[in-house]
């Protein structure tokens, strides 16, 4: 297979860099934070096989997530409270707008119709679940998980139940999260945002700034969650805490490892390896000593929280506004099989992270096929055929893309 070099090549002499001497150009591919120190190291860059990028369909608006149906059709959630059903995951697919009562969705800022997951028993139940920012009588209320049923004629989605309510909501829509992904054991993992409130991430009785873990059918917290014995119902849902704004949750193939992609403030977007019950160190309230939302604190404050889990990878002195995460899977990917893929909104790129067995980032590549081509990229899901599916999120004629090895 022919190869081309990644967008940025880091020389071996630059393998160890500090935050005060790096230039943004030298750190386009990000960095691995040094454990317990402020001095990061930059992983080596790598070469990526050529990729074939095809447009499955256009005419979308801020495609937020992608779900695959057993018959090959594809559902795309769109932030302006719209659901699209695509006839297939192949280029040239037709797009049908699903009828659904989404009139109570708050479409504001980062809020709207967000993440989506198709139920594993869809062939029988015809159910899928969405994250959405909710209003009551026109007033912003909360973020909730809603389960829908697709009609037999595939024209209408009917609301079946509110699976989980009470996730905090900022009326501006800021830091709404909200990415659902099914774990290998069938539990629903949901990455949430802190809604730009200083104390929420460290407060385990609040559902913002967390990874939640719940039963997809009942909406109840999983019985083996780390804080299941708590007297507080919200705390029973918490799997991890101390996050800022998670928008990517990905399961590593043939492993129990779960990775999240998380927005930083003006630097240090993060990729984290999730460990049950752990704190990931974001605390803009500084232990409740300051009011408001102090974003000058570290994304992982190891001074305040020595036991906090350090990120596996950060963007360094810049922010890419990392979004969705997924793993490439299948022999057709060759050397890329098992690569963690991260989309970037502000960075308008796709980032490939190669991981060790333990989950450490060993190399990074930015495929040039996306440079200055598709704009902001949001969703990333691996289809049942092993192809990588991405959405653009520019607001005008957004696209669902299919990516395969060339």
User: Per residue in 151-181, pLDDT tens?
Assistant: 999 999 999 999 999 999 999 999 999 999 9
**23: pLDDT strictly greater than 50:** no
Q: So what's the pLDDT on residue 40?
A: 62
**pLDDT surpasses 90 at 136:** yes
pLDDT of residue 29: 67
CB 165 within 8 A of CB 147: no
Instruction: Let me know how long the chain is.
Output: 406
User: Across the chain, what does the average pLDDT equal?
Assistant: 91
Measure the CA–CA gap between 273 and 120, rounded to whole angstroms: 25
Sequence-ordered list of residues with C-beta below 8 angstroms from that of 363, at least 6 positions apart, any chain: 43, 44, 45, 46, 353, 354
Say if strands 51-60 and 313-314 run parallel, antiparallel, or are unpaired.
unpaired
pLDDT of 73 above 60: yes
pLDDT in the model for residue 273? 98
What is the CB neighbour count within 10 angstroms for residue 98?
18
Q: What is the mean pLDDT of residues 45-65?
A: 91
Per the CB < 8 A criterion, the answer to whether 246 and 196 are in contact is: no
Task: Give the pLDDT confidence score for residue 31 in this predicted structure.
Answer: 81
- Is 226's pLDDT higher than 70? yes
Contacts of 359 (CB under 8 A, 6+ apart): 252, 257, 259, 273, 312
Q: What is the pLDDT of residues 98-117, one digit of tens each?
A: 999 999 999 999 999 999 99
Q: Does pLDDT of 19 surpass 50? A: no
- The pLDDT > 70 percentage for the chain reads 91
Residue with tokens 């999260």: 177
pLDDT beyond 50 at 21: no
Question: What integer pLDDT is reported at residue 36 of this predicted model?
Answer: 55
Q: Indicate if the pLDDT at residue 256 is higher than 90.
A: yes
What is the per-residue pLDDT across 262-315, written as a single tens digit (0 to 9) for each? Answer: 999 999 999 999 999 999 999 999 999 999 999 999 999 999 999 999 999 999
Confidence of residue 28 (pLDDT cuts 50, 70, 90): low
The DSSP result for 227-286, as a single string, is TTT-SSHHHHHEEEE--SBEEEEEEPTTS--EEEEE--SSS--EEEE--TT-B----TTT
Position with higher pLDDT, 168 vs 16: 168
Domains of the chain: 3-405 (2.120.10.30)
């Amino acid at each position: 297979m022919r190869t081309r070099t990644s967008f940025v090549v880091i020389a071996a002499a630059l393998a160890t860099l500090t935050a005060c001497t790096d230039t943004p150009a030298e750190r386009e591919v990000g960095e691995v934070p040094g454990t317990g120190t402020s001095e990061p190291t930059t992983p080596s860059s790598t070469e990526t096989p050529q990729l074939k990028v095809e447009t499955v369909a256009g005419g979308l608006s801020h495609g937020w997530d992608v779900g695959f149906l057993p018959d090959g059709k594809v559902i795309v959630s769109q932030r302006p409270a719209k659901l699209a059903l695509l006839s297939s995951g192949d280029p040239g697919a037709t797009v049908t707008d699903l009828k659904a009562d989404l009139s109570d969705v708050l479409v504001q800022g980062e809020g709207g119709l967000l993440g989506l997951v198709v139920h594993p028993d869809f062939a029988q139940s015809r159910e899928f679940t969405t994250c959405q920012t909710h209003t009551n009588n026109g007033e912003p209320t909360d973020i909730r998980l809603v389960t829908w049923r697709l009609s037999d004629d595939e024209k209408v989605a009917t609301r079946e139940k509110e699976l989980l309510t009470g996730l905090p909501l900022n009326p501006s829509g800021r830091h709404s999260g909200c990415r659902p992904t099914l774990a290998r054991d069938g539990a629903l993992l949901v990455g949430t945002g802190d809604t730009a409130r200083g104390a929420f991430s460290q407060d385990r009785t609040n559902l913002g700034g967390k990874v939640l873990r719940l039963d997809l059918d009942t909406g109840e917290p999983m019985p083996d969650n780390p804080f299941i014995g708590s007297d507080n119902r919200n705390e029973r849902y918490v799997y991890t805490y101390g996050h800022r704004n998670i928008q990517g949750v990905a399961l590593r193939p043939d492993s129990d490892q779960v990775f999240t992609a998380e927005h930083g403030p003006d630097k240090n977007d993060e990729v984290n390896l999730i460990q049950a019950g752990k704190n990931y160190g974001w605390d803009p309230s500084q232990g409740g000593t300051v009011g408001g939302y102090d974003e000058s604190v570290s994304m992982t404050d190891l001074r305040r929280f020595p036991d906090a889990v350090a990120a596996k990878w950060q963007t360094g002195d810049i922010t890419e506004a990392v979004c969705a995460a997924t793993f490439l899977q299948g022999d057709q990917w060759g050397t890329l099989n098992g690569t963690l893929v991260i989309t970037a909104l502000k960075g308008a790129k796709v980032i490939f992270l190669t991981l060790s067995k333990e989950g450490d980032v060993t190399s990074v590549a930015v495929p040039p096929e996306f440079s200055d081509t598709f704009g902001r990229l949001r969703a990333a899901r691996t289809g049942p055929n092993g192809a990588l599916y991405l959405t653009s999120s520019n607001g005008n004629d957004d696209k669902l893309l299919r990516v395969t090895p060339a």
